[in-house]
Amino acid sequence: MSVAQYAVCSLAALLVATAAQAAQPQAKGGYPDRPIRLLIAQAPGGNADIIARALAEGMAERLGQNVVADNRPGASGIIATEMTVRATADGYTILLVPSSFGVNPAVTRKLPYDQLRDLAPITHVASAPNVLVVGPSLPIKSVADLIKAAKASPGKLTYGSSGNLGSPHLAGELFELMTGTDMVHVPYKGAATAMIDLIGGRISMSFASLPSAIAHIRAGKLNAIAVTSDRRFPLLPELPTLSESGLPGFETTAWQGLVAPAKTPPAILKRLNSEAGAVINQPAMRERMIQNGAIPIGSTPEELWDFARKQIEKWSKVVKAAGITPL
């Protein structure tokens, strides 16, 4: 081969290598070079939205690019999840999944994707307990009182929720299964309406989200009995867990996790995990989450997927035992 031929071949090889490298999403150093879209599977103004926007703000500062919050609510998170599954796996579309992620496989006959196969985990962001509250007119001061009252009058006590198959509803279903009681679920279109009817005595109780109930608890309009998490919540440290109150192992939360499309390059996933984790662990961010009724977590990708698998398994059993028909 002549010198000229060798030079031509070398140049061609260099051009091919350069083109191949350019076709790959770039990790730290080149990524990100444009704004990132953070899809939120819930409507603006809720707890998940507040957490997502705070996370987006903090990650933008660390990544040097805007992280744009984009609310795509509907169908228990399926709409936003499918958008993420179909997005280019380049690190520029990520999703804050809600706790319905662990319920949807049990209540949906055919999802348009395989959650654990078609998405890549980044980190477990936060977990928010529900609080078991009763109206002030009811002579119920403890979980034991509630179980006694429910067993004395099967089908009489009612519990309100912000909607079917959300964490307040599922907490009630789990409570009935673990206690052998029979109560009536009353779904509302949002937590605020449920709280109004509970205060007014039109329903008996609710496994409410902390943000929707805490002001009413502090004002004496509702009696708080227990929290649904596996440990006490910092804003209400005097309030026991249901597990402490005679139902060992009882635990339900509204949780959020950060995910990306499957096949997102590992280096990009590692960068996102690192930056999201750093934001979650900032003292100001942790305090902001707690004040909004959530416990900040931060985890490895593997820990998030292990948690998600356990949630899917748990709620599949509860949904089946409760006789809830998949849609």
Q: What's the whole-number mean pLDDT along residues 44-63?
A: 93
Range(s) within the chain of domains with CATH label 3.40.190.150: 36-128+254-322
- The string of DSSP codes covering 182-245 is --EEEE-SSHHHHHHHHHTTSSSEEEEEHHHHHHHHHTTSSEEEEESSSS--TTSTTSPBTTTT
How far are the Cα atoms of 3, 4, 21, 290, 301 from residue 127, in angstroms, in the given order?
65, 65, 39, 10, 16
pLDDT level of residue 186 (50, 70, 90 thresholds) = very high
Tokens at 187, concatenated: 């779904």
Q: What's the whole-number mean pLDDT along residues 28-39?
A: 89
- The string of DSSP codes covering 138-182 is S---SHHHHHHHHHHSTTT-EEEESSTTSHHHHHHHHHHHHHT--
Residue 71 has pLDDT above 90, yes or no: yes
| Tens digit of each residue's pLDDT (9 = 90 or more) over 205-238 | 999 998 889 999 999 999 999 999 999 999 999 9
Whole-structure pTM value = 0.86
Range(s) within the chain of domains with CATH label 3.40.190.10: 129-227
CATH architecture of 36-128+254-322: 3-Layer(aba) Sandwich (3.40)
| Tens digit of each residue's pLDDT (9 = 90 or more) over 138-174 | 999 999 999 999 999 999 999 999 888 889 999 999 9
Judge whether 48 and 42 are in contact, CB under 8 Å: yes
Tokens at 243, concatenated: 């597990």
- At the topology level of CATH, where does 129-227 sit? D-Maltodextrin-Binding Protein; domain 2 (3.40.190)
